[in-house]
Amino acid sequence: EVQLLESGGGLVQPGGSLRLSCAAYGFTFSSNAMSWVRQAPGRGLEWVSAISGSVGNTYYADSVKGRFTIARDNSKNTLYLQMNSLRAEDTAVYYCAKKGINSGSYLNLDYWGQGTLVTVSS
């Protein structure tokens, strides 16, 4: 059974840093691209970042480019999101999600974690 378990969320001051983790179970992690998607309070879903499987090509939303870094450790079946220079508008529930194998689109996300809440506030 595929499971994605996020951790690392919490309260952080503006300008601070946080690293999110997503532990993956039940599939060949190294073969699958992964994404982070967030939802701010009262807002819709927003794609944040994606990383390809074995090669590790990375992609970022303009809103986080230069501040966030996506990475993966295929030996630990874990996805990461390093978030620096955090702003109040980064406050959101962050989900990790696995790309489906049936299509090439990075937005074909067939399994999602339950999310971890990041609150940026002084």
Partner 1 sequence: QSVLTQPPSASGTPGQRVTISCSGSSSNIGSNTVNWYQHLPGTAPKLLIYSNNQRPSGVPDRFSGSKSGTSASLAISGLQSEDEADYYCAAWDDSLNGVFGGGTKLTVL
In angstroms, give the least distance from the CB of 8 to partner 1. Answer: 17
Query: For residues 29 and 95, which CB has a smaller minimum distance to partner 1 in the complex?
Result: 95
From candidates 47, 68, 80, 94, binder to partner 1 by CB under 8 A: 47
Coil, helix or strand at residue 96 = strand
In angstroms, give the least distance from the CB of 122 to partner 1. Answer: 27
Instruction: Give CA–CA dist 117/122, Å, rounded.
Output: 16
Instruction: Give CA–CA dist 8/94, Å, rounded.
Output: 10
Instruction: Give CA–CA dist 48/64, Å, rounded.
Output: 7
Query: For residues 12 and 48, which CB has a smaller minimum distance to partner 1 in the complex?
Result: 48
Q: Does residue 53 belong to the site contacting partner 1 (CB under 8 A)? A: no
Angle at alpha carbon of residue 81, lines to 41 and 79, rounded to 5°: 115
Q: Does residue 9 belong to the site contacting partner 1 (CB under 8 A)? A: no
Q: How many CB atoms lie within 10 A of CB 36?
A: 27
Span interacting with partner 1, options 8-16, 18-26, 79-87, 108-116, rule CB under 8 A:
108-116
Q: Does residue 37 belong to the site contacting partner 1 (CB under 8 A)? A: yes
